[in-house]
Structure 1
């Protein structure tokens, strides 16, 4: 499994609207993508305009090719993109270890 980690900064004062938009975008667009396995969305406490989006993919290519090169990527960006203060920083990770609990 591959973890996509997106560090997102939004325009100040837009948290409530972005909370709805990012949830809708994941549920209606990303969740239908090939290889999608789940997600987590966290909002910063000290920096409430900062969000960390974690999406779990079966393979790296499910995100970088199957999703990013599909029309669904444009749909996703149309939903969340207007809130961005700057382009998100996106990186991918592979699991090394995890807790048993």
Structure 2
């Protein structure tokens, strides 16, 4: 399993709209992608307008090829992209330890 970690910055004044949009986009668009295994969205307490989106994928390629190179990615960005104050910083992580 691969974890996609997206650090997203938005205008805090649009938080309510953004939160509805990101949940809608993840649950209706991303959730249909091959290899999708679940997601979480977290809002920063200390930094208004900062969100962390984590998506669990079966493989790295399920995200980087299967989803990112599909029409679904265009649909996803149409839903959440207008809220971005800057491009999200995206990294992929794999588990090396757990307690």
What TM-score, normalized to structure 2?
0.98
1:35 and 2:35 are equivalent in the alignment: yes
For 1:69 and 1:98, the matched residues in 2 are separated by: 32
Give secondary structure in 2 for the equivalent of 1:97: coil
Deviations 1:3-51 (A, max 9, x none): 0000000123010000000000000100000000011100011112000
For 2:57 and 2:4, the matched residues in 1 are separated by: 7
Q: Which runs of 5+ in 1 are unaligned?
A: none
CA RMSD of aligned residues (A): 0.6
Which residue matches 1:89? 89
For 1:49 and 1:55, the matched residues in 2 are separated by: 19
Q: Which runs of 5+ in 2 are unaligned?
A: none
Deviations 1:60-92 (A, max 9, x none): 000000000000000000000000000000000
Give secondary structure in 2 for the equivalent of 1:13: helix
For 2:48 and 2:35, the matched residues in 1 are separated by: 30
1:45 and 2:78 are equivalent in the alignment: no
Deviation beyond 3 Å, 4+ runs, structure 1:
none
Which residue matches 1:10? 10
